[in-house]
Amino acid sequence: MVRVSSFGVRRPDGVPVADAVLDCRALFDPMGRRLGRLGCGRHPLIAARVLASEGASELLNRAFAAVEGGAQSVAFGCQWGVHRSVALTEELVVRLQAAGYEVEVEHRDLIWERWPRGY
């Protein structure tokens, strides 16, 4: 079982303990833009824009390689844990499941009440 999570570095809980912690704050940030108001990183338009930004593929490849190397937990962090880290977490889950891994997902700082449609 591989645990994949997202988190916000500015939240009070700080950085979680994980075998691989990846910082995705350098990627495109939808927060404060019209796009960011559509929802969280699960929204298809937000996820597509974040995943298309420079550096996203490299972070996902590093996370996948960490799991292949034996990591049991991977955590993606961004500023607030709502857009970038959520998009990368969801994409890694899809890739890991396609490769046959059993995956558990946690979006630590995603406030579900704010995203009533689930994204």
Q: pLDDT tens across 26-61, in order?
A: 999 987 667 666 788 999 999 999 999 999 999 999
User: Does the residue 94 lie in any domain?
Assistant: yes
User: Does the residue 119 lie in any domain?
Assistant: no
User: Does the residue 100 lie in any domain?
Assistant: yes
Return d(Cα 108, Cα 106) in angstroms, integer.
Answer: 6
Whole-prediction pTM: 0.90
User: Does the residue 58 lie in any domain?
Assistant: yes
pLDDT per position as a tens digit, 59-103: 999 999 999 999 999 999 999 899 999 999 999 999 999 999 999
Pairing label, strands 73-78, 2-8: parallel
pLDDT at 106 over 90: yes
Domain of residue 95 covers: 2-114
User: Does the residue 109 lie in any domain?
Assistant: yes
User: Does the residue 93 lie in any domain?
Assistant: yes
Residue 61's Cβ-count burial label (10 Å; 0-12, 13-18, 19+) is exposed
